[in-house]
A and B are shown apart, each in its own frame.
Chain A
Amino acid sequence: MSTIDIETARRVAKLARIRVPEENLPQLADQLSGILTFMEQLNEVDVEGIEPMTSVTPMRLKRRQDVVTDGNMQAKILSNAPDAREGFFAVPKVVE
C-alpha cells in the first residue's frame, strides 16, 4: 500500500507547475495514493532480463538532412499568443 503524504503531494504539484490550494492537498494525496497502490501490482511481475520497451514497432527513426525546410511565418506563430509584442512572446519579468 503506497501512501503519498501531504508534503509529497505538495512537492509533486510544484514539480508539475500546477497550483493546488492547501485545502485540496489531502484529497490529492489520497487519490495519488490510490492510483499508486493500483500500480503496485506491477511488482508481482518477473521482469528479470526484459528490456524496457522503447518502440512498439521495430523501426528505426527516419533521418533527414539537417536543413531549413520551412519558416518565415512569424505572424502565424504569434497569432495565438496570449501576449505578443514587437514580434516576440511576452512573459512576466524573469529576475534570477
Chain B
Amino acid sequence: MTLNTLTIAEARDRLRSRDVTSVELTQACLSAIDGAGALNAFVHHTPDIALERAAAADARLQAGDAPAMCGIPVGIKDLFCTAGVPSQAASNILKGFVPEYESTVSGQLRDAGAVMLGKLNMDEFAMGSSNESSSYGNAVNPWRRGDDATPLTPGGSSGGSAAAVAADLCLGATGTDTGGSIRQPAAFTGTVGIKPTYGRCSRWGVVAFASSLDQAGPMTKTVRDAAIMLGAMAGHDAKDSTSADIAVPDFEAALTGDIRGQTIGIPREYRMDGMPTEIAKLWDDGTAMLKDAGAKIVDISLPHTKYALPAYYVIAPAEASSNLARYDGVRYGHRATLSAGDGITEMYEKTRAEGFGPEVQRRIMVGTYVLSAGFYDAYYNRARRVRALIKRDFDEAFAAGVDCILTPATPSAAFGLGEMADADPVAMYLNDVFTVTVNLAGLPGIALPTGLDTRGLPLGLQLIGKPWGEADLLNTAHVLESAAGFVSKPGKWW
C-alpha cells in the first residue's frame, strides 16, 4: 500500500506509533504529485518546504505530544496567502505576488505540524463552478465516465483541492466556500468537504471574494479526517473581527455514530422540477439510511429557497466589486505597460482589463451596477432583505425541532470540461442551487459521497447543521458515510 493513499486518521496513528515517518509520507505524496501533472491540481510546488516541515514534524513526533495534524501532508488552495510562496488566487492580476505573511488558517495548520506540499488550482478569485476560470488552466477530475476519456471538471472553485484529495496527491486540502466552492467539488470527486459556520475559521490572509459569505474549510477523504483537520483550522482570531470568540470542540470525539432521536429535515423546495432520477434516488436512499440509524425524518419547508441564487448573485458580486477594487496596479501584482501620456486612470483601467479574466470582470461590473446610485435599493438592499428571509426559513426549521437538514449536494454529477463554454453565465450559476442557501444563512454544511451514477461518477449528499453545530453535523455525516459505504476510487489514468 502506498502511503499517499492513507487517510489522515490512519496516517496520524501510524506516525504516532513511529510505524512510518512524515518524511516517508511526504515523499510518497511528492512523487504522486510529480506523476499527476495531467490533473493540473498543484500549481505551485513546494517540495523543499514540505521536506523541511516533515523532518521537523518527525522530531516533534519523536518527542511525543504532537497534535493530530503533525506530519500530515496537505495542499493549500491558492487563495490562502502563504509566506514566501506565490499566492495569486489563480489570477493574472496577482501574478508574481509573494506574501510576506501567512494566513491564519494555513498558519494554524503549519503550527500544528502539517506539511504543505504546494498550492492548489482553483477558479480565479474563487469565482466559478468548474475551475475553468483559472489563470493556470483548469484542473482535471481524476474521475471519468467509465471508459470514456472525456476530461471532466473537478468542480469549483476549490477544484484543485478536490482533484488532489481524490487522486491521493495529499491527505487533505484547504478549500474555501462562498456559494458552494467546497461542497460542489467534493461532490464531483467523491470526497468530503465541510463549510463551517460563518466565523468558525478566520478569513485573515485569505484573498477576499465576498466577505459576508466566505469561509474556509477542509477537503478530505473521510468525515473523520474532516473533523480532525477542521479542528486545526478553526478558532478565534483577533485579526478577523468576524471570527467568533467561542471554543472549538473536539470534533473527532463527537463522532459517536449514534444519531438516535435526532430529527432530520427534508426540505420539499429542494425537489426541483426536472431533478434527475439518480439524484432523487440518492436523496431518498440517504434519507432511508438516516432513518434506519434511528433518526426521525420530517418534511420541512424552506419557502424562500428559489430566491437564494438571485440574491446570492446580487450580494456576492456587490461585495466582490468592493473587495477587488484593491487590485489597482499600485501595491502588488500586475501593472499594465502604459503608453506615453497615460495617467493614473488609464493605469487602473488597463491593469484591471489585463489582469482580471472574463468571469471576474463580469462579476465586478454586475456588483458595480447593483451598488450604483439609483439601483442600490432596488437590487442590493432587496437582496439583503431576501437574505434575511432565507435565514429566517432555517431559523424556523431549527426552532421547530429539526437538528439537521439533508439535501442533494449538486444537481448533477461532474460535467465535461468545456461543456458549459457557450452556455449563458446563469446556467453555470445553477450548480450552486443546493449549496448557496447555506452561505446566505451562515450555516455549516457538509458534502459527502454516497453513491455512483450509471456512468460510474460519484454523487454526493449535503447535510446542513445549526450555527456552531459542526460537531453534531459531522456525527450525522459520519453515520451516513458508514451506512452508504462509499469506497470507490477513480481508476488511475494520469
Contacts and interface: CB of A to CB of B under 8 A. Distances in A.
Interface of A: 4, 8-9, 12-13, 15-20, 28, 31-32, 34-36, 38-45, 47, 50-57, 59, 61-62, 64, 73, 76-77, 79-83, 89, 91-95
Contacts of A54: 384
B369 A12 contact: yes
Interface in B384-437: 384-389, 391, 424-426, 429
29 contacts: A9-B365, A16-B321, A17-B328, A17-B345, A17-B352, A19-B349, A31-B424, A34-B425, A38-B429, A40-B310, A41-B306, A41-B307, A42-B382, A42-B383, A43-B382, A45-B307, A47-B386, A51-B388, A53-B384, A53-B388, A54-B384, A55-B212, A55-B242, A56-B440, A80-B98, A80-B99, A82-B334, A91-B347, A92-B344
Contacts of A53: 384-385, 387-388, 391
B195 interface: no
Given A15-B368, A39-B314, A41-B306, A20 B391 contact: no
Given A45-B389, A62-B245, A32 B365 contact: yes
B361 to A, nearest CB: 6
A18 B383 contact: no
B212 A82 contact: no
B333 A82 contact: yes
Nearest to A4: B369
A56 B442 contact: yes
Contacts of B334: 82
Contact of A57 (B199, B369, B383): B199
B313 A39 contact: yes
Contacts of B370: 39
Most chain B CB neighbours (cut-off 10 Å) among A4, A17, A91:
A17
B386 A56 contact: no
A86 B321 CA distance: 32
A84 to B, nearest CB: 9
B441 interface: yes
B469 interface: no
B343 A93 contact: yes
B356 interface: yes
Given A4-B369, A53-B388, 20 more contacts: A12-B369, A16-B321, A18-B356, A18-B365, A28-B365, A31-B362, A34-B424, A38-B309, A38-B429, A39-B314, A39-B370, A51-B385, A52-B387, A55-B212, A55-B242, A57-B197, A57-B198, A82-B335, A89-B330, A92-B342
